[in-house]
Each structure stands twice: as C-alpha cells, then as structure tokens.
C-alpha cells in the first residue's frame, strides 16, 4: 500500500494505535519513511509538552531596530552585473506603490534606502548571489572524526561512524557492513557524552543504508563523542530503550 | 516603524520581503523580533550577545531575502533557522575563546552549555505557534499537549464533540511538525 495519510501517522505518534487500521500499522512497521515521520511527530509532541504557556517574550530594546536600519541602509546597491538574479522585470512591482502610498504615514524617519528602491522601480536582489545558508561556499566533504562500531556483547565490528564536514554543515555518517536488525521497531542513533550521564538522540537509521544525520559542532565540543545505535519500539517513550546494538567512540 | 497592517498573511509578508519591501522587513521585525530575541537570550544567556544576534538575524534576512521561497516554507521558520545559525556562530566564537584560555591556564572547567539548550529555539517556536493559533484549536492543543489532559475531558470542558477535539490535536501536531521541519531545512 502507499504511505498512509499523515493524520494516521499523527494518531500513531499520539499513541492512539487503535484508531489506525491493522493494514496501515503493518505498512508503518516496515516503512522507514513513515517510521521517521512518526518519530518526528513524537519529538514535536515532546517539545510541545515542555512549551511555556503562556510564554514570556523578551522584547529587544529599541536600539536594536535602529542598528538594523543603519546596517541595511549603509549597504551599496547592486552593480548592474547582478541582473541575472533579478526577478522578471515585467512582473508587477507592488513594493513601489506600497512604498509611495505609505511613506507619508510613517512616523519614524524614512529609511534612507527606501527612496532609491522606489526609484529603481524594482527590488533587485541587492547583494545578489548565494543562498544565505550556502555560505560559506560548498567545500569538499572532509572527515573530522571516526569511530568503529562494535557490538556491545561480542565486540564484533559491524560498521563505522564518521563526522563529515561539508558545505551544508556537519553530519554524522553511519555505515554498517550488514543491515542492523530493527525487529518490529526502528533503529535510533544517539550521541552519548563521555561523562556517561547525558545523551541526545540524533535521528532514525534506516536499516541497510549509509545514513547522514545532521549534528552540530557544539555537540562534539561538549563531549558527545560516543556513537550508539539502539533498537527502539513504537512505545511512545522518547528515551533510550537500553537495547544498544552497536557502539563506538569518535576519535577526533 | 511602518506597519503593513495586521491583515497581511505570513506568506504575503514573505512575498513582499522577498521582493525587497523595507516595510515588510519592519513588519517582520515587529512580529518576530520578540521570538528571535527570546531564543537568543535563552540560548546565550547574555543580553549583549542576544541583541547582537537579533540585529544580525534581521540584517541577514534582508541580505538573503532573494533566497526566501515563500512557497517552500514559512517566514517564521526561516527566521528561526537563521537565528540558530547566528547563535551557533556566537557559540563557536565563545568555544574558541574558552579553548584558548584553558590552553593557557592548563585546567579545564566545562563552560559548555547544557544539551537542553539545543532545543530552546524549537520549544519557543512551538510556544509561539500555539499562542497565535486561533481558538478552539489553540486551547485544545494547550490542554492536550502542555496540560496532558485526556481528549474526553477537553471535549467536555470546551463543549466540543470528541471527534473534533481529536481532529484538532492531529492537525495541530502536524502543523507544528511542519514548522519544525522547515527550521531544520534552513539550519542544515
């Protein structure tokens, strides 16, 4: 069958399994994509359970907005060469009309660059170029740490974990020599702190494939260097099951 | 600060920002600077750093507005994603400074923040989304998720059919997960 509706996956995440047909449950138990969605929904639920209600927001002081105005106002305009990034010039430019209509109403000083923008008639991407999160430019992936993953009981090597830095960030790469058995549940990857007291869940491992899971440098810096893959049941318990299949310590 | 009006939907505001409207930037600041600033303050626990991050986020948003794709994600998630980047930058700087200090002092006191902080941005985004969700869904979700009350009890108390409560809970959960996923896409 095709992937069940997301609302059914939400029911599974909420622990309302009986609302879901046995066929759909069968599909989910064998489908890494659906399992990963259910896992995401459970994490969302765990986050929501700890959300403040009502939250206390801290307003930034007024000087922050003034500094933003100064910073964006001081920028140079784009040289004509950046026109390849420009939107279709035949498209309507609502910005201009909005701006000219609203400026008189503004009680604060007019942004120095607003006039220029209106005159140009088009909002050409000022600093034209790369996507914000592609900065710095993509570099070849480099491995910054590695660990051999051994079974806990017999210490047999079953694969390898490595921390790989690429243009898009840092990932933990897990590859196993043979698929790990998820049984009726799923495989979850953890980073355990070398203090042995703290751990964080990094993501779900689809069995049989090399997997890249995003992590942060801060985790490694804080001592989360022990890679652990556990077998988890669909039991609505976000914590580690205690059933570790393989483990290894990253050497940096 | 100009206001484009409260009636403007988030995707419309995103479209205006992407097109380069300064009003859209000030409106985005008015709506989301408390969220951005609170995330920065809780993550970094330093008012000066939090102000810097808030400033950088909106300047980055302006500079990167042509990369904003309103059809591929929400503006708020995009801003939270940028906030996480800037916080990570400050942490990296702090770590380097700390490492250099400890190298000199030859003793190690762990100054690193607790792992709980890693989810600070996500928790506050969820709180923000719950707060601005219309009723009855907002109330249903707060009672179900935060107060952990059974759906039957929520239905009785709010005078809603049980099926309606369950449907709000499901769709609300999916909505929150979508927002978090968008943040992940920006931060990765």
- Domain edges within chain B: 10-91, 112-187
CB B176 within 8 A of CB B137: no
Task: Measure CA A68 to chain center.
Answer: 27
CB B168 within 8 A of CB B138: no
Alpha-carbon distance B4 to nearest alpha carbon in chain A (angstroms): 9
Collect the ranges in chain B with pLDDT lower than 50. 1-2, 5, 106-116
Identify the closest residue of chain A to B27 by CA–CA distance: A65
Looking at the domain that runs over B10-91, which CATH code has it been given? 1.10.1740.10
Of chain A, the end-to-end C-alpha distance in Å amounts to 44
Strands (E), chain A: 142-151, 157-166, 169-176, 186-193, 199-205, 211-215, 224-232, 244-249
Q: Global pTM?
A: 0.58
Give the span between the Cα atoms of B183 and B188, in whole angstroms: 9
Burial pattern A120-159, b for ≥16 Cβ within 10 A else e, equals eebbbbbbebeebbeeeeeeeeeeebbbebeeeeeeeebb
Minimum-distance CB partner of A41 among B22, B35, B173 = B173
In this prediction, residue A133 carries a pLDDT of: 42
ipTM of the complex: 0.86
In this prediction, residue A105 carries a pLDDT of: 41
CB B78 within 8 A of CB B179: no
Residues of A in contact with B187 (CB under 8 A): 133, 169, 214
Residues of A in contact with B85 (CB under 8 A): 133
Looking at the domain that runs over B112-187, which CATH code has it been given? 1.10.10.10
Residues of A in contact with B177 (CB under 8 A): 40-41, 44
In this prediction, residue A223 carries a pLDDT of: 87
- Residue (of A97, A108, A67) closest to B2 by Cα position: A108
Which residues have a Cβ under 8 Å from the Cβ of B148 and sit 6 or more positions away? A49
In this prediction, residue B180 carries a pLDDT of: 94
A16, two tokens = 């309302």
Residues of A in contact with B148 (CB under 8 A): 49
Residue to mutate among A42, A46, A68, with most B CBs inside 10 A, is A68
Minimum-distance CB partner of A133 among B85, B112, B113 = B85
In this prediction, residue A209 carries a pLDDT of: 67
CA angle B128, B132, B135 (to 5 degrees): 135
CA angle A2, A7, A8 (to 5 degrees): 60
In this prediction, residue B4 carries a pLDDT of: 53
Give the span between the Cα atoms of B22 and B19, in whole angstroms: 9
Give the span between the Cα atoms of A221 and A73, in whole angstroms: 37
CB A244 within 8 A of CB A226: no
- DSSP β-bridge partners for residue A151: A246
Between positions 215 and 234 of A, the ones with CB within 8 A of B are: 216-219, 221-224
For each of chain A's 252 residues, which pLDDT tens digit applies?
A: 688 899 999 999 999 888 888 999 999 999 999 999 999 999 999 999 988 888 899 999 999 999 999 988 865 433 333 333 344 444 444 333 333 334 344 444 445 444 444 444 333 333 333 344 434 444 567 888 899 998 887 888 889 999 988 776 788 999 888 888 888 888 889 888 887 777 888 888 876 667 888 888 888 888 889 999 988 888 877 778 888 889 999 987
- DSSP β-bridge partners for residue A174: A161, A211
CB B54 within 8 A of CB B32: no
In this prediction, residue A140 carries a pLDDT of: 67
Longest CA–CA separation in chain B, Å: 66
In this prediction, residue A180 carries a pLDDT of: 84
In this prediction, residue A178 carries a pLDDT of: 83
- How distant, in Å, are the alpha carbons of A59, A72, A189, A229, B166 from that of A149? 47, 49, 12, 9, 43
> Chain A to chain B, count of Cβ pairs less than 8 Å apart?
202
Identify the closest residue of chain B to A171 by CA–CA distance: B188
Residue to mutate among A20, A48, A115, with most B CBs inside 10 A, is A48
């Amino acid at each position: 069958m095709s992937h069940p509706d997301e609302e059914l996956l939400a029911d599974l995440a909420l622990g309302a399994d009986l609302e879901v047909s046995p066929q759909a449950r069968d599909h989910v138990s064998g489908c890494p994509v659906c399992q990963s969605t259910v896992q995401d929904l459970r994490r969302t639920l765990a986050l929501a359970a700890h959300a403040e209600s009502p939250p206390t927001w801290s307003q930034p002081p007024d000087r922050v907005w003034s500094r933003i105005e100064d910073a964006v106002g001081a920028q140079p305009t784009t040289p004509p060469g950046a026109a390849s990034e420009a939107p279709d010039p035949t498209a309507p430019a609502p910005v201009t009309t909005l701006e000219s209509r609203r400026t008189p109403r503004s009680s604060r000083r007019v942004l120095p660059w607003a006039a220029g923008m209106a005159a140009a008639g088009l909002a050409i991407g000022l600093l034209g170029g790369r996507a914000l999160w592609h900065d710095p430019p993509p570099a070849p992936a480099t491995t910054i740490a590695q660990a051999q993953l051994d079974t806990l009981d017999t210490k047999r090597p079953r694969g390898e974990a490595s921390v790989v830095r690429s243009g898009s960030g840092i990932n933990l790469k897990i590859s196993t020599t043979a698929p790990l058995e998820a049984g009726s549940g799923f495989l979850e990857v953890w980073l355990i702190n070398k203090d042995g007291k703290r751990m964080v869940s990094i993501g779900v491992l689809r069995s049989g494939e090399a997997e890249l899971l995003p992590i942060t440098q801060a985790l490694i810096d804080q001592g989360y260097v022990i890679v652990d893959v556990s077998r988890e049941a669909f039991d609505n318990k976000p914590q580690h099951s205690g059933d570790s299949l393989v483990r290894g310590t990253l050497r940096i | 600060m100009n206001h484009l009006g409260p009636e403007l939907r988030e995707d419309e505001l995103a479209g205006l920002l992407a097109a380069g409207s300064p009003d859209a930037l000030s409106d985005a600041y008015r709506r989301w600077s408390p969220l951005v600033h609170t995330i920065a303050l809780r993550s970094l626990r330093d008012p000066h750093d939090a102000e810097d991050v808030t400033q950088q986020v909106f300047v980055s948003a302006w500079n990167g507005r042509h990369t904003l794709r309103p059809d591929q994600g929400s503006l708020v998630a995009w801003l939270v994603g940028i906030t996480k980047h800037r916080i990570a930058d400050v942490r990296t700087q702090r770590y380097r400074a700390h490492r250099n200090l400890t190298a000199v002092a030859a003793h190690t006191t762990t100054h690193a923040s607790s792992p709980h902080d890693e989810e600070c941005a996500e928790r506050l985004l969820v709180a923000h989304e719950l707060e601005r969700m219309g009723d009855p869904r907002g109330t249903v979700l707060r009672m179900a998720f935060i107060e952990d009350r059974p759906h039957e009890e929520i239905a009785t108390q709010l005078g809603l059919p049980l099926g309606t409560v369950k449907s709000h809970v499901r769709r609300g959960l999916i909505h929150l997960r979508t927002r978090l996923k968008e943040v992940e896409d920006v931060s990765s």
